[in-house]
Amino acid sequence: MFSHSDILIECVPNFSEGRNKATIDAIAEEIRQTPSVQLLHIDIGFDANRTVYTYIGKPEAIVEATYKAIKKAYKLIDMRLHAGKHPRMGACDVCPLIPYQNIDMETTKTYVEKLGKQLGDLGLPVYLYENSATTEARKNLADIRKGEYEAIADKIIQKEWKPDFGPTVFNQKFGMMALGARAFLIAYNINLDTKDLSIGKKIAHAIRVERDIKKNSQLQHCKAIAWYIEEYGFVQISTNITNYNASPIFYIFGTVKEIANDFGIRVNGSELIGLIPQKALLVQNPSNKISDQAKIEDAIEYLGLNQVFPFQKEKRIIEYILELK
Protein backbone atom coordinates (compact mmCIF):
# COMPACT_ATOMS: atom_id res chain seq x y z
CA MET A 1 0.00 0.00 0.00
CA PHE A 2 2.87 2.35 0.82
CA SER A 3 6.43 2.74 -0.41
CA HIS A 4 9.69 3.72 1.28
CA SER A 5 9.40 7.14 -0.35
CA ASP A 6 6.00 7.97 1.16
CA ILE A 7 5.61 10.45 4.01
CA LEU A 8 3.85 8.52 6.77
CA ILE A 9 2.40 9.35 10.18
CA GLU A 10 1.23 6.80 12.74
CA CYS A 11 -1.83 7.53 14.87
CA VAL A 12 -2.84 5.68 18.04
CA PRO A 13 -6.08 7.15 19.45
CA ASN A 14 -7.50 5.71 22.69
CA PHE A 15 -11.30 5.64 22.87
CA SER A 16 -13.31 5.16 26.07
CA GLU A 17 -15.24 2.13 24.89
CA GLY A 18 -14.17 -1.48 25.27
CA ARG A 19 -17.49 -3.30 25.65
CA ASN A 20 -19.88 -2.25 22.90
CA LYS A 21 -18.74 -4.09 19.74
CA ALA A 22 -21.00 -2.06 17.46
CA THR A 23 -19.40 1.20 18.61
CA ILE A 24 -15.87 -0.23 18.37
CA ASP A 25 -16.57 -1.48 14.84
CA ALA A 26 -18.18 1.79 13.75
CA ILE A 27 -15.10 3.79 14.76
CA ALA A 28 -12.84 1.28 13.00
CA GLU A 29 -14.90 1.58 9.82
CA GLU A 30 -14.34 5.35 9.68
CA ILE A 31 -10.59 4.66 9.67
CA ARG A 32 -10.76 1.78 7.16
CA GLN A 33 -12.83 3.77 4.68
CA THR A 34 -10.28 6.59 4.45
CA PRO A 35 -8.01 6.30 1.40
CA SER A 36 -4.23 6.25 2.00
CA VAL A 37 -4.66 4.91 5.56
CA GLN A 38 -3.95 1.38 6.77
CA LEU A 39 -5.54 0.17 10.01
CA LEU A 40 -2.92 -2.09 11.58
CA HIS A 41 -4.40 -3.17 14.90
CA ILE A 42 -7.31 -2.82 17.33
CA ASP A 43 -6.71 -3.57 21.01
CA ILE A 44 -9.89 -3.92 23.07
CA GLY A 45 -9.80 -3.83 26.89
CA PHE A 46 -13.05 -4.93 28.53
CA ASP A 47 -12.16 -4.11 32.14
CA ALA A 48 -10.35 -0.93 31.10
CA ASN A 49 -13.41 -0.12 28.93
CA ARG A 50 -11.03 1.29 26.37
CA THR A 51 -9.98 0.53 22.79
CA VAL A 52 -6.70 1.50 21.16
CA TYR A 53 -6.53 1.75 17.36
CA THR A 54 -3.22 1.81 15.50
CA TYR A 55 -3.05 3.03 11.91
CA ILE A 56 -0.55 4.56 9.52
CA GLY A 57 -1.08 6.82 6.54
CA LYS A 58 -0.20 9.90 4.56
CA PRO A 59 -0.49 13.06 6.68
CA GLU A 60 -3.65 14.60 5.20
CA ALA A 61 -5.34 11.20 5.22
CA ILE A 62 -4.41 10.68 8.88
CA VAL A 63 -6.05 14.01 9.75
CA GLU A 64 -9.19 13.04 7.83
CA ALA A 65 -9.46 9.51 9.27
CA THR A 66 -8.86 10.70 12.82
CA TYR A 67 -11.39 13.52 12.57
CA LYS A 68 -14.03 11.11 11.28
CA ALA A 69 -13.24 8.51 13.96
CA ILE A 70 -13.48 11.05 16.80
CA LYS A 71 -16.65 12.55 15.35
CA LYS A 72 -18.18 9.06 15.28
CA ALA A 73 -17.08 8.47 18.89
CA TYR A 74 -18.71 11.77 19.89
CA LYS A 75 -21.96 10.50 18.42
CA LEU A 76 -21.84 7.02 19.96
CA ILE A 77 -20.04 7.33 23.33
CA ASP A 78 -21.62 9.06 26.34
CA MET A 79 -19.04 9.74 29.04
CA ARG A 80 -21.77 10.31 31.62
CA LEU A 81 -22.30 6.53 31.51
CA HIS A 82 -18.65 5.46 31.31
CA ALA A 83 -16.86 3.38 33.94
CA GLY A 84 -13.64 1.40 33.61
CA LYS A 85 -10.29 0.61 35.19
CA HIS A 86 -8.25 2.94 32.97
CA PRO A 87 -7.98 6.67 33.79
CA ARG A 88 -10.04 8.67 31.28
CA MET A 89 -11.37 12.14 30.57
CA GLY A 90 -13.07 11.91 27.19
CA ALA A 91 -14.78 9.72 24.59
CA CYS A 92 -11.53 10.01 22.67
CA ASP A 93 -9.26 10.25 25.68
CA VAL A 94 -5.90 10.81 24.03
CA CYS A 95 -4.76 10.93 20.42
CA PRO A 96 -1.05 10.99 19.53
CA LEU A 97 0.35 11.54 16.04
CA ILE A 98 3.76 9.96 15.60
CA PRO A 99 6.24 10.71 12.79
CA TYR A 100 6.86 7.34 11.16
CA GLN A 101 8.66 7.82 7.84
CA ASN A 102 10.18 10.77 5.95
CA ILE A 103 8.70 13.36 8.34
CA ASP A 104 10.06 15.12 11.42
CA MET A 105 8.39 16.05 14.70
CA GLU A 106 8.03 19.75 13.83
CA THR A 107 6.15 18.97 10.63
CA THR A 108 3.98 16.43 12.42
CA LYS A 109 2.99 19.18 14.87
CA THR A 110 1.46 21.19 12.02
CA TYR A 111 -0.93 18.32 11.28
CA VAL A 112 -1.79 18.06 14.97
CA GLU A 113 -2.76 21.72 14.97
CA LYS A 114 -4.86 21.31 11.84
CA LEU A 115 -6.73 18.40 13.41
CA GLY A 116 -7.08 20.24 16.72
CA LYS A 117 -8.77 23.19 15.02
CA GLN A 118 -11.22 20.88 13.22
CA LEU A 119 -12.12 19.11 16.48
CA GLY A 120 -12.44 22.42 18.32
CA ASP A 121 -14.84 23.65 15.63
CA LEU A 122 -16.88 20.49 16.29
CA GLY A 123 -17.33 21.71 19.88
CA LEU A 124 -14.78 19.45 21.55
CA PRO A 125 -12.32 20.79 24.19
CA VAL A 126 -8.83 19.84 22.97
CA TYR A 127 -5.59 20.12 24.96
CA LEU A 128 -2.25 19.89 23.18
CA TYR A 129 0.29 17.68 24.97
CA GLU A 130 3.80 16.19 24.61
CA ASN A 131 5.74 17.88 21.78
CA SER A 132 2.68 19.95 20.85
CA ALA A 133 2.15 21.34 24.36
CA THR A 134 1.70 25.11 24.57
CA THR A 135 2.79 25.24 28.24
CA GLU A 136 5.02 23.07 30.40
CA ALA A 137 2.00 22.19 32.57
CA ARG A 138 0.34 20.52 29.58
CA LYS A 139 3.31 18.47 28.39
CA ASN A 140 2.52 15.46 30.59
CA LEU A 141 -0.73 13.63 29.83
CA ALA A 142 -1.21 12.70 33.49
CA ASP A 143 -1.28 16.40 34.45
CA ILE A 144 -3.98 17.18 31.90
CA ARG A 145 -6.01 14.13 32.90
CA LYS A 146 -5.70 14.70 36.67
CA GLY A 147 -9.11 14.35 38.29
CA GLU A 148 -10.35 12.62 35.14
CA TYR A 149 -13.81 13.21 33.66
CA GLU A 150 -15.30 14.05 37.04
CA ALA A 151 -13.04 17.10 37.45
CA ILE A 152 -13.71 18.72 34.08
CA ALA A 153 -16.64 20.94 35.10
CA ASP A 154 -14.48 22.86 37.61
CA LYS A 155 -11.21 22.58 35.70
CA ILE A 156 -12.27 23.88 32.28
CA ILE A 157 -13.42 27.26 33.58
CA GLN A 158 -10.05 28.01 35.16
CA LYS A 159 -7.90 30.43 33.14
CA GLU A 160 -4.86 28.13 33.21
CA TRP A 161 -6.95 25.24 31.85
CA LYS A 162 -8.57 26.99 28.92
CA PRO A 163 -8.55 24.46 26.03
CA ASP A 164 -6.12 25.02 23.16
CA PHE A 165 -9.00 24.39 20.79
CA GLY A 166 -12.75 24.29 21.36
CA PRO A 167 -15.10 25.94 23.84
CA THR A 168 -14.41 26.67 27.51
CA VAL A 169 -17.57 24.77 28.36
CA PHE A 170 -18.00 21.33 29.93
CA ASN A 171 -19.11 19.00 27.15
CA GLN A 172 -20.83 16.42 29.36
CA LYS A 173 -21.29 13.85 26.62
CA PHE A 174 -17.76 13.93 25.21
CA GLY A 175 -15.64 15.22 28.11
CA MET A 176 -12.29 16.54 26.87
CA MET A 177 -9.23 15.11 25.12
CA ALA A 178 -5.46 15.39 24.70
CA LEU A 179 -3.93 15.64 21.23
CA GLY A 180 -0.27 15.89 20.36
CA ALA A 181 2.79 14.90 18.40
CA ARG A 182 5.06 12.51 20.26
CA ALA A 183 7.63 9.79 19.82
CA PHE A 184 6.62 6.13 19.66
CA LEU A 185 5.23 4.81 22.97
CA ILE A 186 4.97 1.18 24.10
CA ALA A 187 1.97 0.36 26.30
CA TYR A 188 3.08 -2.66 28.30
CA ASN A 189 1.54 -4.46 31.29
CA ILE A 190 3.32 -6.88 33.63
CA ASN A 191 1.29 -9.60 35.36
CA LEU A 192 1.61 -10.16 39.10
CA ASP A 193 0.63 -13.48 40.65
CA THR A 194 -1.62 -11.79 43.21
CA LYS A 195 -5.07 -10.25 43.61
CA ASP A 196 -3.77 -7.81 46.23
CA LEU A 197 -3.90 -4.39 44.58
CA SER A 198 -2.12 -2.73 47.52
CA ILE A 199 1.05 -4.69 46.68
CA GLY A 200 0.75 -3.70 43.04
CA LYS A 201 0.49 -0.04 44.04
CA LYS A 202 3.62 -0.35 46.18
CA ILE A 203 5.54 -1.87 43.26
CA ALA A 204 4.37 0.87 40.86
CA HIS A 205 5.30 3.49 43.46
CA ALA A 206 8.79 1.98 43.83
CA ILE A 207 9.29 2.26 40.07
CA ARG A 208 8.20 5.90 40.04
CA VAL A 209 10.48 6.70 43.00
CA GLU A 210 13.54 5.18 41.30
CA ARG A 211 12.64 6.97 38.05
CA ASP A 212 12.33 10.35 39.76
CA ILE A 213 15.32 10.06 42.11
CA LYS A 214 17.88 8.50 39.76
CA LYS A 215 17.98 10.81 36.77
CA ASN A 216 20.18 8.39 34.82
CA SER A 217 17.98 5.40 35.62
CA GLN A 218 16.82 3.18 32.77
CA LEU A 219 13.34 3.69 34.21
CA GLN A 220 13.53 7.39 33.29
CA HIS A 221 11.04 6.99 30.44
CA CYS A 222 8.67 4.57 32.17
CA LYS A 223 5.33 5.60 33.68
CA ALA A 224 3.71 3.02 35.96
CA ILE A 225 0.41 2.44 37.74
CA ALA A 226 -1.21 -0.69 39.17
CA TRP A 227 -4.70 -2.09 38.67
CA TYR A 228 -6.66 -5.27 39.29
CA ILE A 229 -8.15 -6.83 36.15
CA GLU A 230 -11.26 -8.81 37.01
CA GLU A 231 -11.23 -10.46 33.59
CA TYR A 232 -7.78 -11.95 34.28
CA GLY A 233 -8.05 -12.44 38.04
CA PHE A 234 -4.75 -10.75 38.91
CA VAL A 235 -3.04 -7.39 39.38
CA GLN A 236 -1.00 -5.79 36.62
CA ILE A 237 1.69 -3.13 36.64
CA SER A 238 0.58 -1.01 33.68
CA THR A 239 3.40 0.96 32.07
CA ASN A 240 3.88 3.45 29.27
CA ILE A 241 7.40 3.42 27.85
CA THR A 242 7.98 6.77 26.14
CA ASN A 243 11.52 6.02 24.92
CA TYR A 244 12.16 2.31 24.45
CA ASN A 245 15.83 2.86 23.54
CA ALA A 246 16.63 4.60 26.83
CA SER A 247 14.17 2.49 28.87
CA PRO A 248 14.28 -0.99 27.33
CA ILE A 249 11.25 -3.22 27.84
CA PHE A 250 13.55 -6.00 29.13
CA TYR A 251 14.95 -3.77 31.87
CA ILE A 252 11.47 -2.73 32.98
CA PHE A 253 10.28 -6.34 33.09
CA GLY A 254 13.35 -7.41 35.06
CA THR A 255 13.02 -4.51 37.51
CA VAL A 256 9.36 -5.26 38.24
CA LYS A 257 10.31 -8.91 38.71
CA GLU A 258 12.98 -7.94 41.27
CA ILE A 259 10.74 -5.57 43.22
CA ALA A 260 7.87 -8.06 43.19
CA ASN A 261 10.19 -10.72 44.53
CA ASP A 262 11.01 -8.43 47.48
CA PHE A 263 7.29 -8.48 48.29
CA GLY A 264 7.17 -12.26 47.94
CA ILE A 265 5.22 -12.01 44.68
CA ARG A 266 5.95 -13.83 41.44
CA VAL A 267 5.71 -12.19 38.00
CA ASN A 268 3.65 -14.25 35.57
CA GLY A 269 4.52 -12.96 32.13
CA SER A 270 3.38 -9.72 30.54
CA GLU A 271 1.02 -8.20 27.99
CA LEU A 272 1.59 -5.80 25.12
CA ILE A 273 -1.15 -3.30 24.28
CA GLY A 274 -1.18 -2.36 20.62
CA LEU A 275 1.95 -2.77 18.51
CA ILE A 276 5.70 -2.76 19.06
CA PRO A 277 8.66 -1.97 16.76
CA GLN A 278 10.86 -4.96 15.98
CA LYS A 279 13.91 -3.08 17.30
CA ALA A 280 12.44 -2.98 20.82
CA LEU A 281 12.49 -6.79 20.96
CA LEU A 282 16.03 -7.13 19.60
CA VAL A 283 18.01 -4.95 22.03
CA GLN A 284 18.49 -7.68 24.65
CA ASN A 285 20.57 -9.83 22.34
CA PRO A 286 23.02 -7.90 20.10
CA SER A 287 24.68 -11.10 18.84
CA ASN A 288 25.04 -11.53 15.07
CA LYS A 289 25.30 -15.30 15.46
CA ILE A 290 21.54 -15.86 15.59
CA SER A 291 18.81 -14.50 13.36
CA ASP A 292 16.46 -11.65 14.24
CA GLN A 293 13.64 -14.18 14.07
CA ALA A 294 15.29 -16.30 16.79
CA LYS A 295 15.97 -13.21 18.92
CA ILE A 296 12.30 -12.24 18.73
CA GLU A 297 11.20 -15.74 19.73
CA ASP A 298 13.57 -15.58 22.72
CA ALA A 299 12.19 -12.17 23.69
CA ILE A 300 8.58 -13.40 23.55
CA GLU A 301 9.51 -16.35 25.76
CA TYR A 302 11.51 -14.26 28.28
CA LEU A 303 8.81 -11.59 28.63
CA GLY A 304 6.02 -14.19 28.82
CA LEU A 305 3.99 -12.37 26.16
CA ASN A 306 1.85 -15.46 25.60
CA GLN A 307 0.54 -15.63 29.17
CA VAL A 308 -2.68 -13.62 28.74
CA PHE A 309 -3.40 -14.22 25.06
CA PRO A 310 -1.36 -15.87 22.30
CA PHE A 311 1.19 -13.36 21.03
CA GLN A 312 1.05 -13.40 17.23
CA LYS A 313 4.16 -11.60 16.09
CA GLU A 314 2.77 -11.31 12.56
CA LYS A 315 -0.01 -9.11 13.97
CA ARG A 316 1.82 -7.29 16.79
CA ILE A 317 5.17 -6.21 15.35
CA ILE A 318 4.81 -3.15 13.11
CA GLU A 319 7.36 -4.21 10.51
CA TYR A 320 5.60 -7.57 10.09
CA ILE A 321 2.28 -5.87 9.28
CA LEU A 322 3.40 -2.85 7.29
CA GLU A 323 5.15 -4.18 4.21
CA LEU A 324 6.67 -1.23 2.37
CA LYS A 325 7.32 -1.59 -1.35
- Residues 178-231 pLDDT 10s: 999 999 999 999 999 999 999 999 999 999 998 888 877 899 999 999 999 998
Residue 43 three-state SS: strand
pLDDT in tens, 81-132: 999 999 999 999 999 999 999 999 999 999 999 999 999 999 999 999 999 9
Question: What is the model's pTM?
Answer: 0.87
Residue 205 falls in the annotated catalytic set: no
Q: Is the dihedral of CA 119, 125, 131, 135 positive or negative?
A: positive
Q: What Rg value do the Cα atoms of the chain yield, rounded?
A: 19
Query: What is the Cα 171 distance to its own chain's centre?
Result: 23
Q: Which of 41, 86, 205, 221 is catalytic?
A: 86
Q: Domains in the chain, ordered, with CATH? A: 8-181 (3.30.990.10), 186-321 (3.30.70.670)
pLDDT in tens, 270-299: 999 989 999 999 877 666 678 889 999 999
Q: Is the dihedral of CA 158, 154, 163, 188 positive or negative?
A: positive
Element (H, E) at 269: strand 267-273
The set of residues, in sequence order, having a beta carbon less than 8 Å from that of 44 and lying 6+ positions away, is 18, 24, 51
pLDDT of residue 27: 98
